[in-house]
Amino acid sequence: MAKKIIIIGAGYAGILTAKKLAKGLKKHSDISITIIDKKPFHTMLTELHEVAADRVDEDSIRISLKKVFAGRKVEVKLDTVNSIDYKGKNVVGQKEIYPYDYLVIAAGSKPEFYGVKGAEEYSHTLWSYEDAIILKDHIQSEFRKASCTTDDSERKRLLTFYVVGAGFTGIEMIGELAEYVPILCEKFDIEKSDVTLVNVDGLSRPIPNLPEKLSEKVAKRLEKMSVQLLMQTMVSSIGNDYIELKIDEKIVKKPTGTVIWAAGIQSTNIVKESAGELEITRGGRIQVDSYLRSTKADNVFVAGDNMYYIPKGEEHPVPQMVENCEQSADVVAENVICAVISKGEMEVYKPAFHGVMVSIGGRYGVAYVGLPNHFFSLPSFFAMFAKHFINIIYFIQVLGWNKVFSYIKHEFFTIRNCRSFVGGHFSNRTPSFLLVTLRIWLGAVWLFEGIMKIVEGWFIAPKLSEFFGGANAWYDSILNASIPTVADTVSSATVENGTADYVGTILLNFDFLGLFKVIFVSGKAMADSTLSDYAFRLNVPLMNWFTDHLILPNGNVQIAMQVFIVLAEIAIGLALMGGLFTSLSAGFSLILQFMFVCTTGLYLSTFWMVFAGIAVLIGAGRTFGLDYYALPRIKKYWKRLPFVRKLYIYND
């Protein structure tokens, strides 16, 4: 009998639950999986502040649900859930009714205003894609208006920003804004002293989840960025152009142009409205058992922010954070599969959280990470590295290569104003047309190398014994301080064919655990050496064995390998000169160079080809090259292939 699984919400928990269910039930054609969300995309809520402060493009925090579930047995329904009929087993949406056998509630959260007068009407929230876009436009608009006003008091009001909340969202938002202010001041010709940034909270210190010392580091960093911290201060009301604060039992009214509310969250309305049917606890969260089932309905599972669960041995419920969403999604998916196919044992939820991280702008962060009962703090650079690394791990689960490439591009390669913990060192600000001549010259050299090998008879007779033997004898003469005897006359223009009747200079001869040996020598005395006399080689025993036992003993194998090398060099040369499949060609050229380094070595005078291959590896064929025409068409058809979409092996 067919069974239906409905998932409400495509947030962190919902989207992972759906993917894991699809994978676990792919052989059960009689079981359907449907995920319902009012938007066609998944939003990276933890990155909203980056868009609001214009550090990254808005598209970087949005992931298409069609892409996520391409090739998977998950039906995506765009609808708003109005109610849930638990007795009739129906999810009631605006568009249609969805019957279910098993229900997963992962509807996420919404801002909590705690009854503060005017907070919902006059403050900006930061809890959706739309919130981030609206806030970004508003911040720029305030600076634009301030630059045009001649009223000093009005200018200061427009440039006064309050962020309410000193938790993760509030601190990351005020930190991002503080980093953004100097850029806006320069753009709109505004004095930085006219801008006021304030973070307000009733807490005694920012981010109490962190140890006190790390909270102090956060506070010092914000103060260094000209942010005023008003701790143990309550907000009594918010108006169109003011905020009222309760300081030492006194109400103080402050003029402001912007209030950003980041003071807390609660479960969405659809969860809170389930009271009476399900057991609803603090913050509108649903009480669940150890298998993450509702205590009132065995066929209703809860994941992420909507669940209220205190693990065995703990005093507090699991936190409403991304890592809880990920771990609970895994357990919920496993237990739903057990329930729906009536096979296996359900898994008890035993979360193991690995710490917390907070970024204060794009350049600075703090982290308290590790294993349970073994946590430690990280320096700023490593804290930011860990934050990005964890994001990438999540993206691999959601959209694989497609999103990982996009994330790296937005966070490092196209970062604005060097707002990254690695600065702008990876930013692709060099015009690609400047690489055209380098690309063509590199291709011409490869083409020349291939043609000369044909002239030398590489298609006719075995040459590799001489090719490798001459180079080995040359190195041995230097390393063993003995003069080699070579019957044939061999050119000294390249290491591959070069010999010498003198003993050179050893600069480096390092054996790494027997796995490989790094050799760097000169064919002459140091005082007489030029760049073309220095040679570098990686002596790899495994590759030597392969060459000596499988290639050199057989003339036909030698010729086959020679033909391959010649054709590869010619193909690489023509492709680079024409700018066709440039990345593939440059990558293959680097592989060939690595093969030469490991067999015959390379003179330093030819090492420019390695660096040139790296330089033209990405995007160099789009300028005055055939890639400009070919790649868009190929990409268009590539993305349509079912296995490509399912494995996410494409980028946008």
In this predicted model, what pLDDT tens digit does every residue of 366-424 receive, in sequence order?
999 998 778 999 999 999 999 999 999 999 999 999 999 999 989 998 888 889 998 88
The residues spanned by each domain of the chain are 3-109+266-351, 119-263, 434-637
What DSSP designation does 83 have? E
Does the domain at 3-109+266-351 match CATH 3.50.50.100? Answer given as yes
- How far apart, in Å, are the Cα atoms of 168 and each of 5, 24, 48, 265, 282? 34, 34, 12, 12, 20
Distance CA 124, CA 49 (A): 12
Distance CA 517, CA 544 (A): 12
CATH topology match: 3-109+266-351 vs 119-263: yes
Distance CA 96, CA 641 (A): 32
In this predicted model, what pLDDT tens digit does every residue of 295-318 receive, in sequence order?
999 999 999 999 999 998 888 999
- List, in sequence order, the alpha helices (H) in 226-374: 269-272, 322-341
Q: What is the pTM of this model?
A: 0.85
Q: How many Cα atoms sit within 13 Å of 304 on the Cβ side?
A: 28
- Over the chain (652 residues), the average pLDDT of each successive run of 10 is 93 97 95 97 95 94 95 96 96 97 96 96 96 97 97 97 97 97 97 97 94 96 97 96 93 97 92 89 93 96 96 91 95 97 94 93 95 89 94 93 91 89 82 89 97 95 89 88 40 40 80 92 90 93 90 92 96 97 96 94 94 92 91 92 92 79
- Take residue 42 and report the two structure tokens written for it: 């998944």
Q: Write out the CATH class of domain 119-263.
A: alpha beta
What secondary structure, in 3-state letters, does 543-578 show? HHHHHHHHHCCCHHHHHHHHHHHHHHHHHHHHHHHH
